[in-house]
């Protein structure tokens, strides 16, 4: 087991407005504020979203990418890192010339309108805010 002791740094509460691109707003904010490590909590709804789910099969780990054009409520928890190379979750063809902020969100998301019994879990890979979505960032130093 590896242990790193950290302290709480700055705390930011962002509110995404209708139509705001989740990563298009959050990643530049993290870069501007130079948040090198942190925890991210998100609550709200996205009117459009891409997610990645995965499962173990006989052949190993399979990735399932999904796109939704109907709004979905979600709650998510994630972390901020600055990897040297783009993580595989970003898909093929993504390249970086230097480390970039990577906001990695695990989430639970509702089914579409009228499908309240349906819940999916996975990773947020893209999204457009439906309304005032809360993004709380707790910087770790």
Number of domains the chain contains: 1
Asked if residue 51 belongs to a domain, the reply is yes
Mean pLDDT rounded to a whole number for the chain: 91
Asked if residue 132 belongs to a domain, the reply is yes
Asked if residue 112 belongs to a domain, the reply is yes
Inter-CA distances, 72 with 80, 87, 109, 136, Å = 24, 25, 6, 19
Asked if residue 22 belongs to a domain, the reply is yes
Q: Is the pLDDT of residue 51 over 90?
A: yes
**Could you give the percent of the chain with pLDDT greater than 70?**
94
End-to-end CA distance of the chain: 20
Per-residue pLDDT, 55: 63
Query: Would you place residue 53 in the very low, low, confident or very high pLDDT band (cuts 50, 70, 90)?
Result: confident
Asked if residue 48 belongs to a domain, the reply is yes
In which domain, by residue range, is 129 found?
8-89+97-140
Q: What is the pLDDT of residues 54-107, one digit of tens each?
A: 665 566 556 788 999 999 999 999 999 999 999 877 878 889 999 999 999 999
Per-residue pLDDT, 58: 61
Asked if residue 1 belongs to a domain, the reply is no
CATH number of the domain encompassing residue 69: 3.30.1330.80
Per-residue pLDDT, 92: 80
Asked if residue 3 belongs to a domain, the reply is no
Cβ-contact 135, 45 below 8 angstroms: no
CA distance 80 to 67: 23
Which residues lie closer than 8 Å to 47 by C-beta, 6 or more apart?
A: 18, 71, 128, 129, 130
CB count, 10 Å around CB of 40?
Answer: 21
Q: What is the pTM of this model?
A: 0.89
Per-residue pLDDT, 60: 58
Within 13 Å and on the Cβ side, how many CA atoms surround 121? 3
Per-residue pLDDT, 97: 92
Which is higher by pLDDT, 138 or 93? 138
Asked if residue 2 belongs to a domain, the reply is no
Which residues lie closer than 8 Å to 78 by C-beta, 6 or more apart?
A: 39, 40, 42, 103, 104, 105, 106, 124
């Amino acid at each position: 087991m590896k242990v790193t002791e950290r302290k709480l740094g700055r705390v930011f509460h962002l509110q995404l407005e209708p139509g705001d691109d989740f990563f298009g707003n959050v990643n530049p904010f993290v870069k501007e504020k130079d948040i090198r490590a942190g925890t991210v909590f998100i609550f709200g709804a996205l009117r459009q979203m891409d997610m990645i789910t995965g499962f173990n099969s006989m052949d190993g780990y399979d990735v399932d990418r999904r796109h939704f054009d109907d709004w979905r409520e979600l709650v998510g928890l994630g972390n901020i890192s600055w990897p040297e190379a783009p993580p595989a979750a970003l898909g093929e063809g993504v390249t970086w010339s230097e480390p970039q902020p990577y906001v990695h969100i695990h989430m639970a998301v509702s089914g579409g309108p009228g499908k309240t019994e349906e819940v999916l879990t996975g990773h947020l890979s893209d999204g457009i805010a439906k309304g005032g979505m809360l993004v709380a960032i707790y910087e770790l130093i």
